[in-house]
Amino acid sequence: MDNTITAIIVDDEKNALESLALKIEKYFPNITITHKFQNSQKALKQINAQHPNLLFVDIEMPVLSGFDLLSKINNPNFEIIFVTAYNEYAIEAIQHCAIGYIVKPIDNEELKNAVSNALKNIDQKSAFEKNRQLLENLTNNGNSTIVIPTQKGLSFLKTEDIIRFEGVDGYTKIVLENTSILSSYSIGKFSNSSKLQHFFSIHKSHFINLNFISDFLNEGYVVLTNGDKIPIARAKRKVFLEKIQNI
């Protein structure tokens, strides 16, 4: 293996990005950081063009999360170390595939251990299979999974289990069969997601799973299978009726 290891860091928080870069340069002088990105979409283009030996990527970022970014990389045959402020939900999925992670604020010893393990794995050329396994787990055998930031950490939800999204004061309430959770994302984040194609925005504050529709009421409401009665905007009715006829 060449003594020089190339690395790319992706984190939308500038201070976290620069702090991690300084720590890597201090403890691992054989690692050359070729690029640092706050914009995950720009990072994606460079990663696909360069294919570094090592990628440090924040999990929770706007537009493309760390997991979204991984899913769009062509042939992700390099070591990944996820960086996260959450230490509950995401970690189990990552650990299961033996992929590295560090929790913010970054502890120097944890960083050293994660990078040392990654360097050993680079020697063993085992990255592609681990990355493939993580992506497979996140899609749950074809059923799309989305990662939701919550007050406790991150929740992994199958899109087929979600009944509806409701915008609440800049946050989003996500309703499932027997529970609901509150996400720090606005509802627009979900209504623009390509993973939620069987959902429909019937109102500026309501984004529903079309598979859970029970009734459409002439006075302008949709009743879902859990009993929720949701208003439908007049401007949305025609497109909505066309959609449900094709279900």
Domain boundaries, the chain: 5-139, 157-245
d(CA 195, CA 174): 15
Indicate the SS3 state at residue 10.
Answer: strand
Average of per-residue pLDDT values in the chain: 85
Q: What is the DSSP string of 48-81?
A: HHH--SEEEEESS-SSS-HHHHHHTSSS--SEEE
d(CA 91, CA 104): 13
pLDDT per residue as tens digits for the range 27-85: 999 999 999 999 999 999 999 998 899 999 998 888 888 888 888 888 888 889 988 87
pLDDT at 247: 62
d(CA 143, CA 133): 15
Indicate the SS3 state at residue 244.
Answer: helix
| Partners of 224 in beta bridges | 213
Is a pLDDT exceeding 60 seen at residue 206? yes
Name the least confident of 14-23, 74-83, 129-138, 152-161.
129-138
Same fold, 5-139 and 157-245: no
Is a pLDDT exceeding 80 seen at residue 4? yes
CATH number of 5-139: 3.40.50.2300
Q: Are 52 and 34 in contact (CB under 8 A)?
A: yes
Crossing angle of helices 14-27 and 108-124, in 10° steps, is: 70
Chain Cα centroid distance, residue 91:
13
CATH number of 157-245: 2.40.50.1020
